A and B are shown apart, each in its own frame.
Chain A
């Protein structure tokens, strides 16, 4: 990986290479923690704020703003949670961070906890990642033994007790309030926001929840400065993004990509383009909850602002390429079934809407649907996206919506009463 960035990358992940504590320290690791502890939380926080770091778990919320909310809270007992649930199909970046550079992550968690004033914390790792759990458990113990975690860290008087918490197979538990319910020993169902976790999170105490990649950025920013960090990426989206690239490309894998590159460049330069003799038909960006876009849109840069203008959700940073042999409809159905399986059933638009949408796709794929069904599917999609209680239902419609917009012909072509395309089609 990292063809475009050489020495100064943020995530030095090479396949098969595990950076142990000694390696981490040799590479300047834990100097950021020492620096943060010496300069104090406000100065460190300003660096993160100047760097413009935004959450990498999907919603892209400014990380420094979140930490400030915790600092504004008068409650003394505060928690930090590292969201390592990584359930988004097509995404494997957090897993690589945990197994390859665990101490960079632990250092990031510790600095974040220091800035937020949190003294207790959890890393919530999905049960499907036993290897990552084992490495993190051992790394936590080792960091404690060496004084980088636990009581009185590096003699600073700051203490953080960090525990690993295993998920048990639920995508929804990646949603922050569901994750909190899960740690509290309950079903992992989402809660109403507000109050946000920063106000009332775990056990109703202020809680900082950040994604693995977000937290692993922090030591590098503190160590090397915000201006160094801003030398990558664009003014709107500084830094780099880990991209999980899969599907019909020559090279699949994890790549650290500076913000600002176009999706077309990412796919050709890192992925080597489509498989020999094939053309790209569609690209799914942001995992199962992301969108399906046609090749014409790949000239959009990987940048939060530019993407939100064109309706692309960067999400977890997964890119999944479909070549011209693939069926859009069966890909959309694959995602629908995933959400249907993971829906907690608490609200009707998500539970029933997804079920009905899936039935329509069944009919479409069996050649039994009529054009009216496509309009109905469009209506359901709007209802699912707009009326669902949590992010699962809201995002579940992305793939439907975008595919209906860009691949409508393929939907219509599957209909039993398909008419020649010059006849005006009916709309909802």
Chain B
């Protein structure tokens, strides 16, 4: 838990930094979420009530109070992507991972989420995996990207 103390010290304890601290703590978490212990620790370190920390954290859709996978796959649901055949991409991803939106694969490798417009409508349908945006997608391309990530992970495990 010293990691959180370090984040708070790096940012500062002002109230204005609460959201930035929460995001940094979530980023550092192997399960990409804000755990109950993390909330308690942030509350203690910043001297902000736990309910305030929860209230801020729960408002924003990019913050998760539930553990998530190592890679987060976000599929854009807005009209330009929807019209560009988002449905077929989503179906292919769901089938490849065996999960629905809002779920995490049992191996903890992937979570699937929906997201609002990624500012990539000129190459819709678009998805985002972690920090990278992929556009002009086909179902095959989406599956290939996922399989590559899985392979990378397995190679790391074997190395």
Contact = CB atoms under 8 A, between A and B. Distances in A.
Contacts of A94: 119
B78 A247 contact: no
Contacts of A184: 15-16
B59 A188 contact: yes
Interface size bracket, A side: 35 or more
A169 B122 contact: no
B95 interface: no
Nearest to B128: A128
A188 B119 contact: no
B124 interface: yes
Nearest to B117: A89
Nearest to B55: A187
A168 B23 contact: yes
Contact of B121 (A127, A129, A165, A246): A246
Interface in A314-335: 318, 320, 322, 326, 331, 334-335
A334 B83 CA distance: 10
Contacts, number: 121
A177 interface: no
Contacts of A326: 83
A90 interface: yes
A247 B79 CA distance: 9
B83 A248 contact: yes
Contacts of A341: 116
B78 A187 contact: no
Contacts of B48: 185
Contacts of A127: 23, 60, 62
Contacts of B17: 185
Contact of A166 (B18, B19, B118, B120): B19
Nearest to B120: A92
Contacts of A318: 121
B20 interface: yes
A47 to B, nearest CB: 31
B131 A320 contact: no
Interface size bracket, B side: 35 or more
B82 interface: yes
B92 interface: no
Contacts of B63: 168-169
Contacts of A86: 119
B67 interface: no
Given A248-B83, A326-B83, A87 B78 contact: no
Contacts of A87: 116-117
Interface in A299-356: 318, 320, 322, 326, 331, 334-335, 337-338, 341-342, 344
Contacts of B122: 92, 244-246, 252-254
A288 interface: yes
Interface string A268-302: 00000000000000001000100000000000000
A131 interface: yes
Interface in B5-26: 14-20, 22-23
Nearest to B131: A130
Contact of B83 (A130, A171, A322): A322
A331 to B, nearest CB: 6
A337 B114 CA distance: 12
Interface of B: 14-20, 22-23, 48, 52, 55-56, 59-63, 77-80, 82-83, 115-124, 128, 131, 133
Given A169-B115, A326-B83, 19 more contacts: A87-B117, A90-B78, A166-B19, A166-B20, A166-B23, A168-B60, A169-B61, A184-B15, A185-B17, A185-B19, A185-B48, A244-B122, A246-B80, A252-B121, A254-B122, A288-B79, A320-B121, A338-B77, A338-B116
